[in-house]
Amino acid sequence: MPWPVRHLCRPCHNREKARGMGKYICQKCHAIIEEQPLIFKNDPYHPDHFNCSNCGSELTAEARELKGELYCLPCHDKMGVPICGACRRPIEGRVVNAMGKQWHVEHFVCAKCEKPFLGHRHYERKGLAYCETHYNQLFGDVCYHCNRVIEGDVVSALNKAWCVSCFSCSTCNTKLTLKDKFVEIDLRPVCKHCYEHMPEELKRRLARRERDAKERKKKPALCL
């Protein structure tokens, strides 16, 4: 049985053809865009339908959109508008400067989980940025004190990782080892000497906090 014949107008015919070729349809002349399209306000166009809003030259697919106007690349660059290192579009709002580039806040993300850093610290490796969690999972420990990757021996103390040179008393900066006596205050180590010179009330409060923590660990979990 022969296939039914479909009669299409030229715009619909072009759309069907473009879909089969994986091409765009120009939203101005409705013809197939054979080369790289110019994306303007999220729609594809032939670049030569437009001229630079500053110098009047015919545009290419590299044209930049800024505040609803199109500019050729040289004119846009002279305006000093930063370009996002991820999407290559102009940044009109807040700019993130990192890794020698500029980024939209929402586009500067962890290379593993793709979550924006939003001002939180990132860790670089071979030109890519990672959050602390995934950097540790992929490449190793980060020192709690200096926030750098630990390249040598790791001191594991207070449920954290430290460089050997960074593990020191948070009060007098005396270097510590795991053989030295120290106490934890505000998640950091304090040597025995500094601890003994602290006010008695503070020491009682710290001792009470430590006893309470031990008691909580002893209590069995309730089954509900």
pLDDT for 28-85, tens place per residue? 888 888 888 888 888 899 999 999 998 999 998 888 888 888 888 888 877 777 889 9
131 and 150, same domain (yes or no): no
The total of structural domains in the chain comes to: 3
173 and 212, same domain (yes or no): yes
How many angstroms separate the Cα of 219 from the Cα of each of 38, 110, 117?
67, 40, 39
pLDDT grade, residue 169 (50/70/90)? very high
On whether residue 222 sits in a domain, the answer given is no
170 and 133, same domain (yes or no): no
Q: Angle CA(69)–CA(102)–CA(93) in degrees, nearest 5?
A: 50
On whether residue 5 sits in a domain, the answer given is no
170 and 109, same domain (yes or no): no
- Confidence at residue 47, expressed as pLDDT on a 0 to 100 scale: 92
Alpha-carbon gap, residue 53 to 69, rounded angstroms:
6
Structure confidence by residue, pLDDT tens digits, 96-155: 999 999 999 999 999 999 999 998 889 888 889 999 888 888 887 888 888 777 877 889
Provide the whole-model pTM.
0.41
- Confidence at residue 116, expressed as pLDDT on a 0 to 100 scale: 95
On whether residue 72 sits in a domain, the answer given is yes
148 and 199, same domain (yes or no): yes
- On the CB side of 99, CA atoms within 13 Å amount to 17
For the chain, list the strands marked E by DSSP: 24-25, 32-33, 38-40, 43-45, 64-66, 69-71, 95-98, 101-104, 123-125, 128-130, 154-157, 160-163, 182-185, 188-191
192 and 209, same domain (yes or no): yes
Provide the residue range defining the domain that includes 112.
Answer: 95-138
- What's the average model confidence in pLDDT over 4-18? 65
- Confidence at residue 75, expressed as pLDDT on a 0 to 100 scale: 87
| Residue reference for tokens 């890794």 | 99
Give 180 or 88, the one with higher predicted confidence: 180
Structure confidence by residue, pLDDT tens digits, 174-207: 999 988 988 888 888 999 899 888 888 888 888 8
CATH number at residue 49: 2.10.110.10
Residue 52: count other Cβ atoms within 10 Å of its Cβ.
Answer: 19
On whether residue 4 sits in a domain, the answer given is no
